[in-house]
Amino acid sequence: MTPVATPFFFYFLAGLTLLSAILVITRKNAVHSALALILGLLAQSGLYLMLYAPFVAGVQIILYAGGIMVLFLFVIMLVNLERSQKEEQFNRQKVAGTLAAIALGGLFVAVFIKGKALFPASSNQIAEGSNTQQVGELLYGQYMFAFEIASLLLLVAIIGAVVMAKKRI
Amino acid sequence: MPDSTPHPSPLELSSPDKTFLDSNELILNMGPQHPATHGVLRVILKLDGEKVLGVECVIGYLHRGVEKIGENRTYAMFNPYVDRMDYVAAVSNGLGYCETVEKLLQIEAPPRANYIRVILTELNRLASHMLWLGTHALDIGAMTPLFYTFRDREEILKIFEKYCGARLTTHAFRIGGCLYETYDGFERDVKKFIDFVPPKIDEYEELLTSNRIWVERTKNVGKISAADCKALGVTGPVLRASGVKWDIRKALPYAAYPDFDFEIPVGANGDTYDRYLVRMQEMRQSLRIIRQAVEGLPEGPIMAKVPKVMKPPAGEVYHSIEAPKGELGYFIVSDGSTQPYRVRVRPPSFVNLQALDLMVRGQLVADVIAVIGTLDIVLGEVDR
Amino acid sequence: MLDYVTSYLSSNTTPGQAGNLVWALIYILIVFGGVSVAVMAMNWLERKALAHFQIRLGPMRVGPHGLLQPIADAIKLLTKEDIIPERADRLVFWIAPLIILCASFAVYVVIPFGPTHAITDLNIGILFMLGVSSLSVLGVVMAGWASNSHYPLIGSLRSSAQMISYEVAMGLAVVSAILMTSLNPSGTGTLSMIGIVEAQQRQQIWYLFKFFPLGFIAFAIFAIAMVAETNRAPFDLPEAESELTAGFHTEYSGLRWSLFMLGEYAAMIAVSSIAVTLWLGGWLRPFPNALTGATWDLAFSLFPGFLFLILAAVAWVGVIRMPKHPYFRVQTLGLAGFGVVLGLIGLVLFVPPVRDRIQDIFWFTAKVAFFMYMYIWYRATFPRYRFDQLMRVGWKVLLPISLAVLIGTAVAGVVL
């Protein structure tokens, strides 16, 4: 299946991601920031699709946009925001922050200029049609141990959260 | 009015200057206008998240001063007013009042009048329980039994209309007996009704009794123990569902009840499910009583010899009957004139409502509505 | 032009896979229009069926037997005043119903009405559907937040908590159905919707009956979870009026509220389509393998035509029973016209070219319609679950059972 209008879609989705990232940090209302983040994540899943990784795109929507962001929104809505907005905002680390941002920006520019030469050639082109199968085989075959450790970590986190927040109904 | 022992309202917040999201304690108002409070009842809830810590009922929105009116009417003129108290089951209000005045005047209604009174009162008990079932199920979310029970209740109201001209506020009885003789076809109508209704009651039971969601919504909800019931003075199906076998029809019989053979259903746990089962059984027992009454209706006069101008001797009397909602009592003080000195009504819903606080402590908010429904209160009676 | 049309009609891929933009747009318009009509029909059916369950008649006046009632409701809602609470967040208030609507409608891109009758056939079809329908939770949360009043906020938090809880059980039930698609010689399953139905066709059994009772239990779990997912009775505590919190759409009036209802009905149809595709064989007619042969094919293919003729007969019975009064003349004529239209559709469905093409769509729609009727039946019959009981059912009952079914299916697939 031949891709259509690739440059247009790439610039569109990338621009959307950048725009939403800027909105996340500039909005005063926390809910608006969360919504902009959701928009950014959806645009990012579109970028995954363009890289022929449909499974990752689908999982990004389900988990990130549909699960984690919902929890973000829960927390934002349950915490008493008016009080935090009344508190005076301060930023006493302007100098250090600017230097760190310049350093990170310089790193990105250097990587961009050096181009693909920095990274080893990708080992195999995964066909789009069997993306899910290949991901499954890798996760449950080669990286099984890491997968199980990660899920165990998540389980511990869940149990810890439940124990901390539990109260008798 | 000074209070010797300060009675702390259950609604005091333990830390009043936190917002509702910080302290987890919330005062919530189920205002007088609410689909689920069966009338104009204001319930103020103190919540801890979802759990109810205390409940305060604000009543009086339907107070019409019935008892004060009674002091300015003659005994016969006051009779229509009592129907308006428990407007859902108006016939038993009239029965209680008429019997109390008859006790004061020391006259007895003739047997035929007593039988007619029993038939109409038991039909009225069925109608009241049917309305209760429909509205209670609707509160819990089952919207269909409401239409079924109202449809069947129509048959009862048709009989009332044919008998005395009114469906709801019937004013069916007079002091000394009944005014109206049974119409042509009364026995036929009542017998047709008795045959028509038992399958309907089975239908309601089929929809609800073993329905898993119904059972989970009503079992162990609103439990009250027998000792608490007795301490608060709760009567009626609420008391019987807690295990106390007390029914005034059997304990202190009145009208023609000694002639009939029926059972008193008693529950075990005192939760909402038991109250539901008790009322369903009471419906069936009512049908039994009506059948016996209609088959054994004696001939004779329907009105005793009552003086034209009723001046009972000075004194006081208390008489109570088993209304569908509980013990309905009338306390009349007479000073020898044609108008009573004081008429005091002991409405069952008023006394039962006091148990609400005890019954919902520790339950969830959604259960408050179920418990108000299961107490079967009528605000006309609570406020008078 | 005509060759273009016929050449496309004889192809054997969906427009999305063929890369054909024009036909994809046409399919999208057809599906969008079809879903909108289906939502209106569902609105009418709900009121009528609920009324008949409750021994009443339902709408009877607005058109013959209330058939024009949805249109009257739509006009009323469109002309209502648009009220926005004073300190509500306007942007979020405006976006919330749109998110729910877009999420519900985006799912229709992959629903397979037939082997080539889908807008496209993504090879992650099921994943896409689950993901996009989980985006509607965001709309619910935002609707409650934007109303700036704490009853809708609590209602929306409850509603969204319920939705994400039941998504877990739904997902596991779906996974156990997907597992069954891998029981073929090459050993790979498929996530694409059309692939799942074709797998059922190849394995010659609807997944409802496969490894009985495992497939059936998975189906039952999904059927219960989908009712909870769409906030319908008996799981409609967040929307109920007799409870204290009146639901996340309290502050919405007029057109915005109708967008919520549109989104809710569209979501109902969408999740029913998932259930039909995964367990009930999608577009396959009943007994595709047990009763094979040209005669059986012919018999089953006459079914749609007969169904519409029966509906036309019912409409004509209604016409005959209408009161013979001048006031009812317009209604009687309207109902008669409707009956004639139904009859004509039935006759058209007997014509062989139409008959063959319509089979898949008809069987798929019939199965989804069955689910819609069940939704209404549940609403009429069951009381409501209390919120903590609802969450308990989702986490402590459905989740363990679906895990057990998943393991059982995997074991059965390997062993059998």
pLDDT tens digits along B194-203: 998 999 999 8
| pLDDT at site A105 | 92
Cβ–Cβ below 8 Å for A74 and C17? no
| pLDDT at site A169 | 47
> Residue C24 corresponds to which amino acid?
A
| pLDDT at site C245 | 61
CATH, residue A78? 1.20.120.1200
Report which of residues B126 and A2 the model is more confident about. Answer: B126
A165 domain-assigned: yes
Cβ–Cβ below 8 Å for A73 and C135? no
Q: How many domains, chain B? A: 1
Average pLDDT over residues B322-328: 92
Structure tokens at C37: 């009509």
pLDDT digits (tens, 9 = 90+) for A92-113: 788 888 899 999 999 988 888 8
Residue A54 has pLDDT above 80, yes or no: yes
| pLDDT at site A128 | 60
Confidence band, pLDDT 50/70/90 cuts, at residue C3: low
Q: How far apart, in whole angstroms, are the C-alpha atoms of residue B93 and residue B107?
A: 19
Report which of residues A50 and B23 the model is more confident about. Answer: A50
Q: How far apart, in whole angstroms, are the C-alpha atoms of residue B343 and residue B69?
A: 9
| pLDDT at site C246 | 64
Which of C154, C386, C387 best probes binding to B when mutated, by most B CB atoms within 10 angstroms?
A: C386
Residue B20 has pLDDT above 50, yes or no: no
| pLDDT at site C244 | 59
Residue ending a domain, choose from A27, A52, A85: A85
Contacts of C242 in chain B (CB under 8 A): 35-36, 138-139, 141, 369
Pairing mode, if any, of strands B51-58 and B342-346? unpaired
Residue B15 has pLDDT above 60, yes or no: no
| Judgement on whether residues A68 and A144 belong to the same structural domain of the protein | no
Instruction: Tell me the percentage of chain C whose pLDDT exceeds 90.
Output: 26
A38 domain-assigned: yes
Q: How many domains, chain A? A: 2
Average pLDDT over residues A116-136: 67
Residue C256 has pLDDT above 80, yes or no: yes
Residue B209 has pLDDT above 50, yes or no: yes
| Judgement on whether residues A8 and A80 belong to the same structural domain of the protein | yes
Residue C73 has pLDDT above 80, yes or no: yes
Helix pair angle (C352-381, C255-279), 10° resolution:
110
Average pLDDT over residues A61-68: 88
* DSSP state letter for B302: S
| pLDDT at site C241 | 58
Instruction: Tell me the percentage of chain B whose pLDDT exceeds 70.
Output: 93
Nearest residue of chain B to residue C377 (CA atoms): B144
| pLDDT at site B1 | 46
B355 domain-assigned: yes
pLDDT digits (tens, 9 = 90+) for C27-58: 889 899 999 999 999 999 999 999 999 889 88
| pLDDT at site B3 | 45
Q: Chains touching chain B at 3 or more Cβ pairs under 8 angstroms? A: A, C
pLDDT digits (tens, 9 = 90+) for B116-156: 999 999 999 999 999 999 999 888 888 889 999 999 999 99
Nearest residue of chain C to residue B369 (CA atoms): C243
Residue B8 has pLDDT above 60, yes or no: no
Whole-structure pTM value? 0.85
Residue ending a domain, choose from A52, A85, A118: A85
Residue B340 has pLDDT above 80, yes or no: yes
Going from N- to C-terminal start, the domains of chain C cover 23-302+350-415
Q: A80 and chain B: CB distance < 8 Å anywhere? A: yes
B26 domain-assigned: no
Cβ–Cβ below 8 Å for A80 and B19? yes
DSSP E strands, A19-100: none
Average pLDDT over residues B175-191: 89
Query: Please, where are the H alpha helices in B19-89?
Result: 20-23, 66-70, 75-83
Confidence band, pLDDT 50/70/90 cuts, at residue C273: very high
A102 domain-assigned: no
Integer angstrom CA distances of residue C278 from B369, C176, C285, C317, C414: 40, 10, 14, 38, 20
Cβ–Cβ below 8 Å for C386 and B216? yes
| pLDDT at site B125 | 93
Cβ–Cβ below 8 Å for A61 and C138? no
Average pLDDT over residues B80-85: 90
pLDDT digits (tens, 9 = 90+) for C191-205: 888 888 888 888 888
Average pLDDT over residues C84-113: 87
Average pLDDT, chain B: 87
Identify the domain containing residue A68 by its residue range.
1-85
| Judgement on whether residues A70 and A133 belong to the same structural domain of the protein | no
Closest partner CB to C127 (pick from A31, A58, A130)? A58
Half-sphere exposure of B160 (CA within 13 A, CB side): 27
Q: Chains touching chain A at 3 or more Cβ pairs under 8 angstroms? A: B, C
Instruction: Tell me the percentage of chain A whose pLDDT exceeds 70.
Output: 80
Report which of residues C354 and B238 the model is more confident about. Answer: B238
| pLDDT at site A126 | 58
Residue A24 has pLDDT above 50, yes or no: yes
Contacts of B51 in chain A (CB under 8 A): 169
B335 domain-assigned: yes
Identify the domain containing residue B374 by its residue range.
66-383
Q: How far apart, in whole angstroms, are the C-alpha atoms of residue C367 and residue B320?
A: 61
Confidence band, pLDDT 50/70/90 cuts, at residue B282: very high
Q: Which helix (H) or strand (E) holds B53?
A: strand B51-58
* DSSP state letter for B173: E
Instruction: Tell me the percentage of chain A whose pLDDT exceeds 90.
Output: 27
Cβ–Cβ below 8 Å for B49 and A78? no
Residue C7 has pLDDT above 70, yes or no: no
| pLDDT at site B34 | 75
Classify burial at B157, counting beta carbons within 10 Å of its beta carbon; exposed 0-12, middle 13-18, buried 19 or more: middle
CATH, residue B327? 1.10.645.10
Contacts of B19 in chain A (CB under 8 A): 80
Q: B50 and chain A: CB distance < 8 Å anywhere? A: yes
| Residue C398 β-bridge partners | none
Confidence band, pLDDT 50/70/90 cuts, at residue B207: confident
| pLDDT at site C255 | 86
Q: A86 and chain B: CB distance < 8 Å anywhere? A: no
| Residue B56 β-bridge partners | B44
Average pLDDT, chain A: 82
- The answer to whether the CB of B120 falls within 8 A of the CB of B162 is no
The ipTM estimated for the assembled molecules is 0.80
Nearest residue of chain C to residue A32 (CA atoms): C92
| pLDDT at site C222 | 93
CA distance A51 to chain B (A): 45
Q: How far apart, in whole angstroms, are the C-alpha atoms of residue B286 and residue B291?
A: 9
Integer angstrom CA distances of residue B250 from A70, B102, C226: 61, 20, 52
Residue ending a domain, choose from A53, A85, A117: A85
CA distance C198 to chain A (A): 17
Cβ–Cβ below 8 Å for C385 and B217? yes
